[in-house]
């Protein structure tokens, strides 16, 4: 085995420029985390792509079936129902959560009395376990005399609502705690973006006589563009991958009545660990991955152009 001598290695190192040495040191430190991330992330992703072309139930070796799983997916009515549910979570949840969190952050940034305490209260739901939070909200939606919301509605003369047992109300009922859960994180990020805007911009705008709405439209929102881009992509990925709220709030009937609340992730879980169809579940996972990729790229492109 031939190895480089210490003298030769020293001459090679001495012959490098400062920039080359910095690059070498940087890649030396990055090598371990890149290798680790590749093993735990990229390799399972490639395995999922391979399994999507196979028929495997954990009890026998996987057999190659080509595009059979994807053809079955396209012809599966349940998949299109689940796809519409997931799209509803994305289209309704993302803008709603961003609008609410921005409004809270915009006005909370002007509050001086107990500012830290109020900010902590908004951030607390983000730290709460999703399963525990979902069961609390499920209790809220119960009929009288257990449910808090129906108890309040009855006290003001409004009939009780079925909420999680309704094909029309179940999805909004699950969307509400999902939006509430991520509100604190988005508020903190928006506030960080607002604090990063130099106050001199606002002072100059007020001297010029601009209204608060004009300042918001022409100064605050344009300068918050990097923050908005990050939160739009982050929030969209979260709603596309929604699972905990749906599974725990519809525990007796996962996916709600007539599958009106079932998202893609829950479908993948049931296909893999209840039906034991790992190849079909892998195909669903690949489709979810492609949806996440396409939605993220479109959002980044659109927001970048604007």
All domains of the chain, ordered by start, with CATH?
A: 75-305 (1.10.3720.10)
Angle between helix 77-108 and helix 225-240 axes, rounded to 10 deg: 140
pLDDT at 88: 96
pLDDT score, position 56 = 92
Below-70 pLDDT ranges, the chain: 1-11, 13-14, 304-306
pLDDT score at 144: 87
Cβ atoms of residues 82 and 68 within 8 Å: no
Torsions phi, psi for 55 (to 5 deg): -115, 110
Q: What percent of the chain has pLDDT over 70?
A: 94
Cβ count near 144 (within 10 Å): 14
Alpha-carbon span 99 to 105, nearest angstrom? 10
**Residues in CB range of 228: below 8 A, 6 or more apart:** 98, 221, 303
pLDDT, residue 300, reads 80
Q: Alpha-carbon torsion 108, 114, 120, 121, what sign?
A: negative
- Contact of 82 with 165, CB cutoff 8 Å: no
- Spatial contact of 98 and 232, defined as CB atoms under 8 Å apart: yes
Q: Specify the pLDDT at position 103.
A: 93
CB atoms within 10 A of CB 301: 10
- What ranges make up the beta strands (E) of the chain? 54-55, 63-64
């Amino acid at each position: 085995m031939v190895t480089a001598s210490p003298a030769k290695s020293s001459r090679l190192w001495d012959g490098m420029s400062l920039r080359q040495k910095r690059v070498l040191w940087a890649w030396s430190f990055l090598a371990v985390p890149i290798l680790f991330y590749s093993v735990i992330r990229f390799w399972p992703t490639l395995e999922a792509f391979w399994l999507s072309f196979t028929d495997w139930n954990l009890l026998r070796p996987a057999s190659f079936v080509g595009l059979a799983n994807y053809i079955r997916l396209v012809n599966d009515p349940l998949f299109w129902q689940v796809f519409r549910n997931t799209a509803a979570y994305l289209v309704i949840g993302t803008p709603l959560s961003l609008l609410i969190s921005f409004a809270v952050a915009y006005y909370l940034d002007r509050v001086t009395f107990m500012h830290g305490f109020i900010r902590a209260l908004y951030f607390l739901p983000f730290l709460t376990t999703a399963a525990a939070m979902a069961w609390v909200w499920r209790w809220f939606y119960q009929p009288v005399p257990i449910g808090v919301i129906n108890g309040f509605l009855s006290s003001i003369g409004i009939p009780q609502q079925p909420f999680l047992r309704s094909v029309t109300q179940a999805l909004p009922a699950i969307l509400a705690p999902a939006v509430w859960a991520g509100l604190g994180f988005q508020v903190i990020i928006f506030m960080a973006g607002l604090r990063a805007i130099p106050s001199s911009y606002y002072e100059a705008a007020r001297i010029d006589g601009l209204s608060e709405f004009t300042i918001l439209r022409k100064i605050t929102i344009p300068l918050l563009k990097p923050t908005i881009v990050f939160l739009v992509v982050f929030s969209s990925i979260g709603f596309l991958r929604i699972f905990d709220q749906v599974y725990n709030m519809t525990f007796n009937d996962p996916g709600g009545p007539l599958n009106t609340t079932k998202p893609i992730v829950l479908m993948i879980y049931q296909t893999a660990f209840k039906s034991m169809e790992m190849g079909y579940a892998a195909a669903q996972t690949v489709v979810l991955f492609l949806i996440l990729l396409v939605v993220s790229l479109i959002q980044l492109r659109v927001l970048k152009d604007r």
